[in-house]
Homo-oligomer: A and B are copies of this chain.
């Protein structure tokens, strides 16, 4: 029995977010065995967070009645920018005080287990590719539509990092060169139009012009989900906003497909819960604009839901070990 236990058949995934940390234990097939979600409490400092994560990992190991040496490693997904080789998080807008944090070194010291750092969107891309909608394809773009628009690329069957671990920033692909200013300084980035924030902004702007909509009865803080719900009830403005959201993505996907000749584009994040209402206009616009053979790309909804991050973080361990 102990021989079996020593074959390193477990992997840990950590998905660090601004609000919560998701930590899970997986077997070698990446089936989730144990899972815990705890508040980040970023204000309490870096050591506090990392100690808490370390304790959670110890807890999961104990619960599963295994020993540390049964683990191949800990995959640690974090917002970036970061350096995967050195295991350092340079900074993170949602984690106050995080500046050049040597996460790999600190976590390895605390846990005694090898740690592999990865950008959170890249980790989610890996998750969808190894266990989700993109399973088995060679070239895949993963796009996450949330507060912003992020993503990751799997090219030739490996996560593609680029020169500085910064590849996959699809949110800052330009949709309208003379469009509105993005937080990044650029103008007309797709993130300003097809993120949850972009959906709400465009809806509010339309309401200001006096267009009739059930959404005008909402308080000022309605969300992109409210727009989706209104569209389901055939609210004209909401339908147009959702259709344009897809159309804008279809334009950007066409450009990327001509550039990269992908097998698949996988769409995740909260906004993707709109499903067909979003995917149909994406596909329509994409096909109008894309030549053969790039037009043959499959466009699908992500299938791992909010667990993509933690599953992907665990996948990072296998990816780095070349498995």
Contacts and interface: CB of A to CB of B under 8 A. Distances in A.
A160 B166 CA distance: 18
Contacts of A259: 153, 167-170, 173, 256, 259
A171 B258 CA distance: 8
A172 B161 CA distance: 24
A164 interface: yes
A67 interface: no
A86 interface: no
Given A174-B255, A186-B254, A261 B162 contact: yes
A233 to B, nearest CB: 29
A44 interface: no
Contact of A139 (B162, B186, B254, B292): B162
B169 A160 contact: no
A176 to B, nearest CB: 7
A102 interface: no
Task: State the number of copies, please.
Answer: 2
Interface in A133-182: 138-139, 153, 155-156, 158, 160-177
Contact of A155 (B155, B170, B263): B155
Contact of A261 (B163, B186, B261, B288): B163
A161 to B, nearest CB: 7
Interface string A44-76: 000000000000000000000000000000000
Interface residues of A, number: 49
A185 B258 CA distance: 13
Contacts of A305: none
A81 interface: yes
A158 B165 CA distance: 18
B177 A176 contact: yes
Given A156-B160, A162-B262, A174-B255, A291 B167 contact: no
List 8 A-B pairs, minimum CB-CB distance, nearest first: A162-B261, A164-B293, A172-B258, A169-B258, A167-B261, A173-B255, A166-B261, A186-B289
Given A155-B156, A163-B262, 9 more contacts: A153-B260, A156-B158, A156-B160, A162-B260, A165-B261, A169-B258, A172-B255, A185-B289, A259-B259
